[in-house]
Amino acid sequence: MKAYWYDNKPGDQREPHDSGRTVSEDYLASIGVFYRHYPNIESVNTLAKERGYKNRDEVCVSPQAMGDVYESKVKMFFAEHLHEDEEIRYIRDGEGYFDVRGQEDEWIRIQLSKDDLIILPAGIYHRFTTDEKNYVKAMRLFQEEPKWTPLNRSEEVDTNPHRKTYLGTLNTAAVAAN
């Protein structure tokens, strides 16, 4: 895993967009992003049991696996959105980027590769893309039945109860740090 501030320069979303300014795991944790490197599935299984994830599936995001819809799907995944549940991804192969909003609403890019696991809290704005190799295989874990409902950023979504709860955790963390 490598995390850094996104450079916001024009260019394909699959390019690194590395500003050269790193972001620490501690900062990611302060915004609710959980990261672990798990070289074996047993560690994932233990985490799943601890957090109550009952279901899982695997998805391969690549032109070979998705055919003609690949480009449109990658663009759709890159639209800024949130979920009302945690988003959990365990990278089985390949690489991809999760971009998340920091405390000042700036983008942080998180590069994940094989055996990296990330959990994004409910209510955090984020987006996803493959890298320039156009291939990632990921396990998705779910607490209940598999669902993936993105709520694209808007004024209405800004007032979503899950978004408000998430923002409350940031304020609590900031107060605790001072």
User: Does some domain include residue 177?
Assistant: no
Q: Give the Cα separation of 95 and 47 in Å (integer).
A: 22
Q: What is the CATH number of the domain that holds 128?
A: 2.60.120.10
Residue whose C-alpha is closest to residue 124's, from 78, 71, 160: 160
State whether residue 32 is helix, strand or coil: coil
Residue 37 has pLDDT above 50, yes or no: yes
Q: Give the Cα separation of 6 and 104 in Å (integer).
A: 13
Annotated binding site: 81, 83, 87, 126
Total Cβ atoms within 10 A of residue 91? 21
Annotated binding site for Ni(2+): 81, 83, 87, 126
The pLDDT assigned to 146 comes to: 65
The answer to whether 73 touches 150, Cβ cutoff 8 Å, is: no
The pLDDT assigned to 41 comes to: 96
Q: Give the Cα separation of 141 and 100 in Å (integer).
A: 19
User: Does some domain include residue 176?
Assistant: no
User: Does some domain include residue 22?
Assistant: yes
The rounded mean pLDDT for the chain is 94
User: Does some domain include residue 166?
Assistant: yes
Residue-wise pLDDT tens digits, 121-146: 999 999 999 999 999 999 999 988 76
Average pLDDT of the residues in 54-81:
95
Average pLDDT of the residues in 52-81:
95
Which domain, by its residues, includes 81?
Answer: 2-171
DSSP state, 132? T
Token representation of residue 131: 């890298």
Question: Into how many domains does the chain fold?
Answer: 1
User: Does some domain include residue 15?
Assistant: yes
User: Does some domain include residue 68?
Assistant: yes
Annotated binding site for Fe(2+): 81, 83, 87, 126
Residue 176 has pLDDT above 60, yes or no: no
User: Does some domain include residue 178?
Assistant: no
DSSP state, 88? E
User: Does some domain include residue 34?
Assistant: yes
